[in-house]
């Protein structure tokens, strides 16, 4: 992979900010940093220049909750005419106590995936990803299962009960937090990250030869602004305990290095979900091989549901496999 142009979403704070700073230290020629507003993106670009003493940061307005704003950002990237080598889809949302639905009718924790899908497919259609581009999207440990206080929805069972066995309809219900979906913040978060893992596998089958995509859990890193949104049980009980036990937490910089590490992986790992070893939240990342993650029907259902919600698709290049 060339180290010419990288784009980092959600770079105004936390892991995105740390990742952009780390990329600057690795010799990238230009790093596009996004924020929900142009002013916010400009401020963070300036801050990163001060911190790194390197003037390679380009601000870009990108609000993933608003399809029209994503299209405007895409138009700007296409107009530039230069392909992106590393696309880091870091922006995310941790659900709060109350359910939030965006103006596009999407549950707030699911909205970043819809926006990232629109951005990625748009760049692919416009030929604005380099031939050997790497795409990394932020996953999370709960998608693999076995994480205290978090559990994901059994999509096939939900489909059988409420959607006449239609798994695509079931996933779309989760994305929209439909009438048969009970809002529970921790489950909603786990579902959002599980759909990211499935979407990643489906995208890998559609990428041109030479490109690769990975879902990567940054692991536990509680010193970020996103923690402000978590429910009280996590904020005042689980996180303080995690902070006291060595090896259960890490700095944003250490967590962001997982993204950069994955960006150097080969195409043979494209579509895989990388996270901590079972029972851990920090340390080396490894491919997750739990059966629910590898099911091709789940993966394609997630892809089609995202297509239905976003209105944009990209054709399959490789046959699906379980």
How many structural domains is the chain composed of?
A: 1
- Gap between the Cα atoms of 62 and 35, Å rounded: 6
pLDDT computed for residue 223 by the predictor: 54
First-to-last alpha carbon distance for the chain, in angstroms, is 28
pLDDT computed for residue 158 by the predictor: 98
pLDDT computed for residue 249 by the predictor: 77
For residue 96, the domain's CATH number is 3.40.50.720
Within the chain, which residues score under 70 in pLDDT? 1, 222-248, 317-322
Cα dihedral angle (89, 154, 170, 306), rounded to 10 degrees?
10
What does the radius of gyration of the chain's CA atoms come to, in whole angstroms?
A: 18
pLDDT computed for residue 2 by the predictor: 74
H or E element in which residue 116 lies: helix 111-125
Question: Does some domain include residue 30?
Answer: yes
Looking up tokens 């979906």, which residue turns up?
A: 181
- Coil, strand or helix at 7: strand
Question: Does some domain include residue 115?
Answer: yes
pLDDT computed for residue 220 by the predictor: 84
Comparing CA positions, the residue from 306, 311, 282, 290 lying closest to residue 144 is 290
Question: Does some domain include residue 64?
Answer: yes
pLDDT computed for residue 79 by the predictor: 96
Question: Does some domain include residue 59?
Answer: yes
Looking up tokens 């999207």, which residue turns up?
A: 137
Q: Are 21 and 51 in contact (CB under 8 A)?
A: yes
Q: Are 190 and 142 in contact (CB under 8 A)?
A: yes
HEC string of 69-99 equals HHHHHHHHHHHHCCCEEEEEECCCCCCCCCC
Comparing CA positions, the residue from 53, 292, 315, 11 lying closest to residue 156 is 292
Confidence (pTM)? 0.91
pLDDT computed for residue 1 by the predictor: 66
Domain of residue 264, residue span: 5-153+184-310
- Residue 298 tokens read as 């789940």
Question: Does some domain include residue 167?
Answer: no
Angle at 216 between CA 305 and CA 276, to 5 degrees: 125
Question: Does some domain include residue 73?
Answer: yes
287 bridge partner residues: 274
Secondary structure of the chain: what % helix, strand, coil (to 5)? 45, 15, 40
- Gap between the Cα atoms of 95 and 181, Å rounded: 15
- Gap between the Cα atoms of 14 and 177, Å rounded: 27
| Number of residues written out for the chain | 322
Question: Does some domain include residue 315?
Answer: no
Question: Does some domain include residue 284?
Answer: yes
């Amino acid at each position: 992979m060339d180290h010419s142009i990288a784009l980092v979403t959600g770079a105004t704070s936390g892991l995105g900010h740390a990742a952009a700073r780390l990329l600057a230290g690795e010799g990238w020629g230009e790093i596009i940093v996004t924020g929900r507003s142009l002013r916010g993106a400009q401020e963070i670009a300036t801050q990163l220049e001060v911190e790194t003493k390197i003037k390679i940061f380009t601000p870009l307005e990108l609000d993933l909750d608003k399809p029209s704003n994503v299209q405007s950002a895409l138009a700007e990237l296409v107009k530039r005419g230069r392909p992106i080598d590393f696309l880091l889809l870091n922006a995310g949302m941790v659900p709060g106590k109350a359910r939030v639905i965006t103006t596009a009718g999407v549950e707030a924790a699911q909205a970043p995936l819809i926006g990232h899908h629109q951005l990625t497919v748009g760049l692919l259609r416009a030929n604005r990803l380099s031939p050997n581009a790497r795409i990394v999207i932020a996953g999370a440990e709960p998608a693999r299962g076995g994480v205290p206080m978090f559990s994901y929805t059994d999509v096939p069972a939900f489909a059988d009960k409420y959607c006449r066995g239609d798994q695509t309809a079931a996933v779309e219900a989760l994305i929209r937090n439909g009438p048969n979906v009970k809002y529970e913040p921790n489950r909603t978060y786990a579902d959002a990250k599980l759909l990211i893992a499935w979407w990643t596998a489906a995208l890998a089958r559609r990428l041109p030869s030479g490109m690769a995509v990975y879902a990567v859990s940054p692991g536990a890193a509680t010193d970020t602004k996103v923690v402000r949104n978590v429910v009280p049980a996590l904020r005042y009980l689980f996180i303080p305990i995690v902070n006291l036990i060595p090896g259960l937490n890490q700095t944003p910089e250490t967590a962001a290095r997982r993204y950069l590490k994955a960006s150097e992986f080969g195409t043979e790992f494209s579509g895989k979900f990388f996270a901590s070893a079972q029972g851990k939240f920090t340390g080396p990342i490894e491919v997750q091989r739990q059966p629910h993650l590898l099911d091709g029907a789940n993966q394609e259902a997630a892809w089609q549901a995202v297509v239905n919600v976003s209105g944009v698709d990209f054709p399959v290049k490789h046959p699906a496999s379980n």
